[in-house]
Amino acid sequence: MRTIVWFRGRDLRISDHEPLRTAAAAGEVIPLFVLDAELAAPEEARRRPHRTQFLLESLRELQSNLVARGTALIVVAGNSLELVPRLAAAWRADRVVAHRSTEPEGRVRDRVVAAALGDKLQLTEGETLFPPGVLRTLANTPYAVFSQFARSFRRSATIAKPLTSPRVLQPLPRDVRTRSAAIPSCDTLGIVHNPAVLTGGERAARRRLRQFARAAVNGYADGRDRLDLPGTSRLSADLHFGTVSVRQVWTEIEAVAHGTGGGEVFCNELIWREFAHSTLWDRPELLTEPFRPAFRGFPWQDDAAAWQSWAGGQTGYPLVDASARQLLGEGFVHNRARMIAASFLTKHLLIDYRRGEAHYLRFLTDADPANNNMGWQWSAGCGCDAQPYFRIFNPVSQGERFDPEGDYVRRWVPELAELPARFIHRPWQAPEGVLRDAGVRLGRSYPRPIVEHGFARARFLALATQHLRRSRTDSRRPANDVRELPTHPPGQPNQRG
Ligand SMILES: Cc1cc2nc3c(=O)[nH]c(=O)nc-3n(C[C@H](O)[C@H](O)[C@H](O)COP(=O)(O)OP(=O)(O)OC[C@H]3O[C@@H](n4cnc5c(N)ncnc54)[C@H](O)[C@@H]3O)c2cc1C
């Protein structure tokens, strides 16, 4: 049997790769990757510099791993919708195997290719631990509350042992004659290689996983929230591009930290990933619309100056600015800093969460439509099991709690580095002498806050309350939808804050 193994950018590995294993067991294997316009066109790639860099490195390593096992990765530039069926015919392939796509764009692609190939296209699970869109409430609806989803997940999912990589693969069949395109380099795409971006590829992913399992998972329950410490796994880009499978991560962490606080909390985060993917599977429209209908038509403001300040890390709130600069500097942002920055953009500045979502998609190495959309909607208060709209992060107290010495800020906002910890998250309250000694000139070397926290909080609450009340009145939605609107008094704790 001759099989095309179609790698699609979410499974750039040879270990725990079921399509590759089944193809290898059945005979001839033709590993294929299609360079679509996003990658082949320099201007598109330059728009997403960090993830392009990571992807290219991962692809190169995949190629050399396949070569080391006796075969090669055939890289073809073009449109996969048209190319894959054409190559399958030209190469007389008996079948094309791949991991099933879980995101809307990939699902459309799979449908179109399946229409051309029929049952020759065989898709296997693997992007998530459990197939998305399967777990259901008793009323047979998708879960909208994470804790319920997580309980159901833990009851239902049995996680099989990861597969090892094939030791040897048959050489490419002689009659498969297509000139493989070169994998572009950052240089050819006009991207300046950024050494601060995580290294792509399976080897680096395994190293990160081992390092986290050995050194950090036990302290993860507390450490994950500390902005100044390396308390998290940094596996998000690997999980997105599939340089490690989520099953490999789950299994390794279960093996070293089963039943420990850190292990449990970490696996819970992997279940958040499952929840995000399952939610987007059931509701692809979330990529353009808020989960809570009451937020439709929210009067977001189009404030160009505020947007520039936020995106460029010049809001005058050190923690918010550190997160913006970390994003641009290394294509990563700590989870808590993402939450604070997203809350600030949407609630302090009243800017549509979808602008922030698009900005993150552009600059994050781990940019992932499902996780990113859930994160943004959660932060704006309009999402699935979201932080309630009336919960508004205070960037100062968050900084003091999760970056107590100000080291995160010092790293990313060096113009404040000499300030004492007491004022690092609130430089505008520092006495003149302290500012002078630290070399800080407010309004010159570092901005004053572009908006006052108390004022911004009250403004958002008034606007949101008014909007939600109006949409409740206008709504012709059934009563259970109306109940979904937040009605709790301000100040209620939330499970993730
Ligand atoms: C506004 C906003 C935008 C976000 N955008 C993305 C994104 O584009 N891509 C992305 O992978 N994550 C996103 N997240 C979730 C989270 O911030 C990152 O997954 C995490 O910071 C990655 O760091 P880590 O690998 O060290 O995480 P760890 O704490 O080590 O967690 C392990 C893994 O669990 C998963 N995970 C952790 N937290 C979440 C979460 N809240 N939702 C879904 N999965 C989670 C990730 O795959 C992560 O790699 C976003 C969160 C927010 C608030």
Q: 371 C-alpha vs ligand 1 centroid, how far in Å?
A: 7
Average pLDDT of the residues in 323-327? 98
Average pLDDT of the residues in 441-465? 97
Mean pLDDT (the chain) is: 93
Nearest alpha carbon, ligand 1 atom 11: 236
Whether the per-residue pLDDT at 496 is higher than 80: the answer is no
What pLDDT is recorded for position 17?
98
Q: 54 C-alpha vs ligand 1 centroid, how far in Å?
A: 17
Q: What is the percentage of the chain residues whose pLDDT exceeds 90? A: 87
In angstroms, what CA-CA distances link 391 with 89, 251, 402, 453, 489?
56, 35, 18, 13, 10
pLDDT tens track for 473-488 = 776 554 444 333 333 3
Residue 275: burial class (beta carbons within 10 Å; 0-12, 13-18, 19+): buried
CB 376 within 8 A of CB 370: no
pLDDT tens track for 73-125 = 999 999 999 999 999 999 999 999 999 999 999 999 999 999 999 999 999 99
Q: 420 C-alpha vs ligand 1 centroid, how far in Å?
A: 31
Beta bridge partners, 124, equal 99
Tell me which residue of 106, 88, 86 sits closest to 96, measured CA to CA: 88
What pLDDT is recorded for position 216?
85
Average pLDDT of the residues in 414-434? 98
CB 357 within 8 A of CB 379: no
What pLDDT is recorded for position 495?
35
Whether the per-residue pLDDT at 490 is higher than 70: the answer is no
Q: What angle do CA 330, 336, 341 make, to 5 degrees?
A: 75
Three-class SS of residue 102? coil
Domains and CATH numbers, the chain: 2-126 (3.40.50.620), 128-160+202-282 (1.25.40.80), 293-474 (1.10.579.10)
**Which of 202-206, 311-315, 385-389, 427-431 has the weakest average pLDDT?**
385-389
The preferred substitution site among 235, 335, 344, 377 for testing ligand 1, maximizing ligand atoms within 8 Å of CB, is 335
Whether 276 is in the pocket of ligand 1, judged by its Cβ within 6 Å, is yes
What pLDDT is recorded for position 476?
55
In angstroms, what CA-CA distances link 27 with 24, 172, 308, 321?
6, 11, 56, 55
pLDDT tens track for 101-111 = 999 999 999 99
Average pLDDT of the residues in 199-213? 97
**Structure confidence at residue 225 as a pLDDT band (50, 70, 90):** very high
Whether 239 is in the pocket of ligand 1, judged by its Cβ within 6 Å, is yes
For residue 7, give both structure tokens: 């790698």
Nearest alpha carbon, ligand 1 atom 49: 236
Whether 375 is in the pocket of ligand 1, judged by its Cβ within 6 Å, is yes
What pLDDT is recorded for position 40?
78
